[in-house]
Amino acid sequence: MIFFLSFILFLVGLYCVLIKKNLLKIVMGIVIMEYSVSLFLILLGYKKGGFPPIVTAGVEGTNFVDPLPQALVITAIVISIATLALIISLCMRIYQKYKTFDITKIRKLKG
Amino acid sequence: MKENKGMTLIVKTVIKFLAPIVILFGIYMILHGHLTPGGGFPGGVVIASAFVLLTLAYGKEVAEKKMKRSLASLLESTGALFFLILAVLGIFVGGWFFSNFLPKGEPLKLLSAGFIPLANIAIGLKVGGGIFAVFLALVIFRVAGEGGKEQK
Amino acid sequence: MNLLPLFIAVPLGTAFVIVLLGKMREIYSDILATIAALVLAILPFILILTLDKGETLVYSMGKWLPPQGINLVLDGLSRLMLIIINVVGFLAIVYSVSYMKKFTAKSKYYGLFMLMLTGMNGVVLTGDFFNLFVFAEIAAISSYALVAFGVEAEELEASFKYMVMGSIATTLILFSIGILYGLTGSLNMADVGRTIQGNGGTLLSLSMVLFLTGFGIKAAMIPFHAWLPDAHPSAPAPVSAMLSGVLIKALGAYALMRIFFNVFGLNLQLSWVFMILGLVSIFGGGLLALRQDDLKRLLAYSSISQMGFIILGLGCGNYWGILGALFHLLNHSSFKSLLFLNSGAVEYSAGTRKLDKMGGLSKVMPVTGATSTIASLSISGIPPFNGFWSKLFIIIGLVQANHFVLAVLAILASVLTLAYYLRMQRNTFFGKLKKELEKIKEAPLSMCFSMIVLAIACVGLGIFFYPVMKIVLEPAVEVLQKGIKYSSLILGG
């Protein structure tokens, strides 16, 4: 059931990418999609009544939440930071050349 | 034009005390990466955000005196090369790529777990330098972009 | 045995050293990049000479054994892809030594190029799903930056379109890896393959569909092709050669082959899906290429069409189909890269890309004209060049599987390919020389070197196809045909 909700968040992001006409709103749609997938990955590792997977000196117990998806999500977040930095600088350069953020007017390549 | 001079006096005073504490916290997160949550990536981002705070509060010139853009790029490349050298040294000392060749102490102490603290330092350098370089590139471009548009 | 991590470590280290050194003097970055690419190009041949035919190497990083650890797997299919990636990469770097003189930030270009090589080498060598994702992302992000390298208005728009679609593909692939992890509890390809055998279920089908869509966007199959005709013409010519000749194959076709043949296992529905998608790509790309006015855009649509041939051969599933598809992959890298390098030489000397402004260029640019003719004849499937053999094998495979209608359609598509390449050749190189083009010279020496080497490869692969087939291609076909037994090979040994 929880996974279904993260899939709905993914579809919200996809709607932004497909329908909106402003360049920056499309970028925000991409960011929402990447966050929804990271959320889905973390939720996969949840166990009922689990502890954070850190071995500290005083705490006893072995019911740890799965730590592998957390490592995957750190890597995925860093990759999405790099993509976001690149796409934002592209948007700024496009504004300098085309003087608009409207994607229906940025159509020099056709055919 | 007001943004070139920085923000108000209250912000400047608070940031003057806060920025070293933030950098110290970032270094703590990087060094204790094998004991507490965090590690290279979030520690590097915290260090970069301390410099971003300085840039926002004082304007571009003061922050550029503290860490120039070429220094940020240099830190970034050095961090990556350091990480790669650690991995390749694994071949020569341990026999396999990326093997853990420094002595592993007892668990829960600071100097344990082989070369993982060194790898965390390398990643922290790279991420911190990288994110601050990206921020500087975007900020400088904004000023130049408006100037360029006026010239056209 | 220790050579395998070098494929990843050498370009990664070179990228950062070039960025550091290039700030000092530019000539250092040229020399360093060429040396590193030469080392990378020689390494796969050393591997072929020192290993037996078809032997599989499993290299565990850090001595952590699979399925807990990450391992690098070198089997026949990886050997074929490594040769393609590194040799074409070396030739593209030699070409860029003179082509990129017009651009200013040359050291950053070499750094990004080396990062792209790292990513692609990592994708074909890894045996782990998440490692595949990370290396695919490294290659993709460097290619986004390389497409927008000369910051004109059209290139920025093309790179933005490419980035949006590439990010959607990334998200879909990550979603699917998450579903597979939830179902099986492991990320190793061999382990997942062993655990899901025989089980069906809707979640598994959802994961397959998401993988097909995600890697289909990266491989530019129709209907996911919309980024390719804008991105490939706008990039600088050596980057276009790498993108069209290697990247869509290493990230797209290779990943599809590895996942669908070795992990999921090919069944009847999947092979029909591949064949239909392949056929639609062939005709879509071919018909759209007939009307193009811009030289590089025509080549980009032709790439979509030829990728359709590869997917069609893969979907066939029997020995001749897969052999033809893999041979066509090897051939397409050689002649499509050659065609893009030619178009770069034409653009460098004549300054234009429009077909109606050129004409009779073979009188003033003999090397470019001759190599372009060889490449066009190869891609259309004229004997004795290499394109003929690969298309013949695909058609034999289709006939053997009793898909006669598809075989006839494939032959028609080859005739279509010949049609638009003849038009391109006539407009560019033959015919009367226009007045304003009389003073241009031949391309510089390093560009000619790369083009001649690729042309020799086209002719050589066509004439010597039998030893090439035995040494390089047959182990690759064996790997794909073994299918799900790949997992017992990795984990048992």
Residues C73-131: pLDDT tens digits? 888 888 888 888 999 999 998 888 888 777 777 888 888 999 999 999 999 988 888 88
Diameter of chain A measured on Cα atoms: 67
Show the DSSP H helices in C100-188 as ranges.
106-125, 129-147, 153-184
**Separation CA C459–CA C385 (nearest Å):** 6
Instruction: Answer whether C319's CB lies under 8 Å from C262's CB.
Output: no
> The tokens 């304003």 sit on which residue?
C436
Could you tell me if residue A12 is inside a domain? Answer: no
Q: Across all residues in chain B, what is the average pLDDT?
A: 76
Q: Across all residues in chain C, what is the average pLDDT?
A: 83
Instruction: Answer whether C304's CB lies under 8 Å from C220's CB.
Output: yes
Could you tell me if residue A76 is inside a domain? Answer: yes
Considering only CB atoms, B108 lies closest to which of A57, A78, A89, namely A57
Query: What is the count of structural domains for chain A?
Result: 1
Could you tell me if residue A37 is inside a domain? Answer: yes
Q: Poorest-confidence range of A56-60, B129-133, C443-447?
A: A56-60
> The tokens 């089980």 sit on which residue?
C199
Could you tell me if residue A4 is inside a domain? Answer: no
Predicted local distance difference test score (pLDDT) of residue C285: 87
Of residues C87 and C5, more confidence is placed in: C87
Considering only CB atoms, C151 lies closest to which of A93, A108, A109, namely A93
Give C 154-193 residues with CB within 8 A of chain A. Answer: 154, 156-160, 163-164, 167-168, 170-171, 174-175, 178, 181-182, 187
Of residues B128 and C25, more confidence is placed in: B128
- The tokens describing C152, both together, are 């004109």
**Separation CA C199–CA C220 (nearest Å):** 30
Query: What is the reported pTM?
Result: 0.91
Predicted local distance difference test score (pLDDT) of residue A34: 93
- The tokens describing B104, both together, are 């592993």
Q: Poorest-confidence range of C67-76, C180-189, C225-234, C340-349?
A: C67-76
Instruction: Give chain B's radius of gyration (CA, Å).
Output: 19
Predicted local distance difference test score (pLDDT) of residue C137: 92
Could you tell me if residue A40 is inside a domain? Answer: yes
Q: CA-CA-CA-CA torsion for C38, C118, C328, C377, nearest 10 degrees?
A: -50
Residues of A with CB below 8 A from C293's CB? 111
Instruction: Answer whether C192's CB lies under 8 Å from C184's CB.
Output: yes
Q: Poorest-confidence range of B4-18, C355-369, C424-438, C479-493?
A: C479-493
Percent of chain C exceeding pLDDT 90 equals 10
Q: Is B47 on the interface with A (CB under 8 A)?
A: no
Residues of A with CB below 8 A from B145's CB? 92, 95-96
Of residues C166 and B91, more confidence is placed in: C166
- The tokens describing A16, both together, are 């932004």
Q: Per-residue pLDDT averaged across A73-95, rounded? A: 90
Phi-psi region at C402: left, alpha or beta (left = phi > 0; alpha = psi -120 to 50): left
Which stretch of DSSP H or E encloses residue C232? helix C228-234
**Separation CA B2–CA B140 (nearest Å):** 16
Q: Per-residue pLDDT averaged across B112-141, rounded? A: 82
In this complex, the chains that touch C, judged by 3 or more CB pairs closer than 8 A, are: A, B
Q: Give me the residues paired with residue A76 across strands.
A: none
Count B/C contacts: CB-CB distance under 8 Å.
44
Q: Which pLDDT band holds residue B24 (cuts at 50, 70, 90)? A: very high
Which of C57, C61, C125 to mutate to probe the B interface, most B CBs <10 Å? C61
Considering only CB atoms, C167 lies closest to which of A83, A91, A111, namely A83
Q: Is B87 on the interface with C (CB under 8 A)?
A: yes
CA nearest B107: which of B32, B36, B35? B35
Range among C42-51, C272-281, C449-458 with highest mean pLDDT value: C272-281
Domain interval for residue A43? 22-47+61-102
Give C 305-364 residues with CB within 8 A of chain A. Answer: none
b/e burial code for range B19-56 (CB count within 10 A of at least 16 → b) = beebbeebeebbbbbbbeebbbbbbbbbbbbbbbbbbb
Instruction: Answer whether C107's CB lies under 8 Å from C249's CB.
Output: no
Predicted local distance difference test score (pLDDT) of residue B147: 37
Q: Is A6 on the interface with C (CB under 8 A)?
A: no
Could you tell me if residue A81 is inside a domain? Answer: yes
Residues of B with CB below 8 A from A74's CB? 39, 41
Q: Across all residues in chain A, what is the average pLDDT?
A: 84
Predicted local distance difference test score (pLDDT) of residue B109: 63
Q: Per-residue pLDDT averaged across B84-88, rounded? A: 81
SS3 content of chain A, % helix, strand, coil (to 5): 65, 5, 30
Instruction: Answer whether A86's CB lies under 8 Å from A62's CB.
Output: no
Could you tell me if residue A53 is inside a domain? Answer: no
Question: Nearest chain C Cα to A75, which residue?
Answer: C134
